[in-house]
Structure 1
């Protein structure tokens, strides 16, 4: 049995920010396996090159700082000139800083805002300038379970992800009339290199498994199907939505 043509994204060009490891790399791999021409983005060229070498198909790298407006403008222009017009953008760059809110430093507040929210605005705006002129494009912002709910110690992170949810809806409102669909993918608790200390914390892991109807931590590959749907023609009439891939956690008390 062959896949339905609505899910065919072969030959399209996709840029994934923050994709040298973890969720970003897994999403890039999924796009590559689906036949996309993939551009990995990050600030460490050597790490990107190593990640690219492990992916199938046509994979490129684009080294630029997604928190810096001029760098984004130049980086997107160079990537499109070298690889081709972007059909798909995945705004994945992000970070986590944990601390009680009363102790959260000003510098850390601005750093997490810049990394989790401003990057999606800068890269999304630059990509959309080109996509809207061409009359088509897919933008997927990587939101979070914490776009909806929060635990003690991660209020600033949740604030950025909640804002990213609303930025996604705003992008949909502004760019949908020009043929660009903007949606979000909201991971739950996913096992990655960065979350390894939490996974190995038995008390926390027991809480995650008990709180999640699926009864386990998520795996990075669990996120790929949702991304491929949102990036495909199957989602041409889907806009401003957040698809939570969290094992059901947001649905239960």
Structure 2
């Protein structure tokens, strides 16, 4: 990709201290963007922003309007008018849907849905009067593919996709773009200790980061990562539901977040994200 496609754009990234967020910050900065990161982990965001030499890297609670507003204010004060917001912050909980603690359910809904909606609104309110901008929401392949063991996560990502599509339609012709990135399983701490389906390759954070850079350069409504998984899913959706689910069981997708999970390997993530 030509650096000029994103060069000098002011980009704010939530959940930017690690994983997909940090990879995206690194790629976009390398392409000449003015990048800011926010993250709930104060120590991690300080370390990551220092590592990249960013002017803005601060604690951000995406579920709190004042925290989010202060973050975007700091971005615009230090870097200029916001061109792109990437709503990347998200959490996952693994286990039985009916046995999931209410506090964990609420945590996923607050971060994955409310945080994305809040960020979209706050960014759009700045972008729409200017007639340009781009809100990129990190959804998931789980936005369109129900997966056993992560029911609430799937519900939140279905919501992210539906919300992003609807806001895009409401603001057609405004000059502000709205995109959903839909990665398959990506090798970050979020999937520590989970299983693996036959014949399916996990994505890397840099794969998602490059997809984000590409959609900034050329806006699209939905972007599966990798592109090949989008074609597979599209083909499966033409099948009868029973056949589609049977194919998933044959590949072992029903075990990835259930019987194949190594619970001990997930303890650190669950503790850090408040999903234990």
TM class by smaller structure: 0.7 to 0.9
Once residues 139 and 124 of structure 2 are traced to their aligned partners in structure 1, the CA distance between those partners, rounded to angstroms, is: 19
User: Is the deviation greater in 89-98 or in 76-85?
Assistant: 76-85
Unaligned runs of 5+ in 1: 199-203
Please state if 1:25 is matched with 2:9.
no
Secondary structure at the counterpart of residue 194 of structure 1: helix
User: Is the deviation greater in 109-118 or in 99-108?
Assistant: 99-108
Deviations 1:146-197 (A, max 9, x none): 0011221111100000010011112212333321000110110111133232
Deviations 1:94-121 (A, max 9, x none): 0001121110222221110011011111
* Residue 211 of structure 1, CA deviation: 4.2
Please state if 1:85 is matched with 2:76.
no
Please state if 1:15 is matched with 2:2.
no
Please state if 1:160 is matched with 2:143.
no
Runs of 4+ in 1 over 6 A off after TM superposition: none
Unaligned runs of 5+ in 2: 237-246, 248-276
Deviations 1:188-219 (A, max 9, x none): 01111332322xxxxx23x2xx242xxx2211
Select the residue among 169, 177, 196 that pairs with 1:181.
177
Q: Count residues with an aligned counterpart.
A: 233
* Residue 59 of structure 1, CA deviation: 4.5
Please state if 1:250 is matched with 2:233.
yes
Secondary structure at the counterpart of residue 145 of structure 2: coil
Contact kept, 8 Å, 2:10 with 2:81, in 1: the verdict is yes
Relative to 1, partners in 2 of residues 1:52 and 1:98: Cα closer, same or farther, differing over 3 Å?
same
Once residues 73 and 170 of structure 2 are traced to their aligned partners in structure 1, the CA distance between those partners, rounded to angstroms, is: 22
The answer for the alignment partner of 1:130 in structure 2 is: 126
The answer for the alignment partner of 1:218 in structure 2 is: 203
Superposition RMSD in Å: 1.9
Deviations 1:46-66 (A, max 9, x none): 21121123326x542132211
Contact kept, 8 Å, 1:41 with 1:61, in 2: the verdict is yes
Deviations 1:68-115 (A, max 9, x none): 122222322232123211101100000001121110222221110011
The TM-score normalised by the length of structure 1 is 0.85
* Residue 4 of structure 1, CA deviation: 5.4
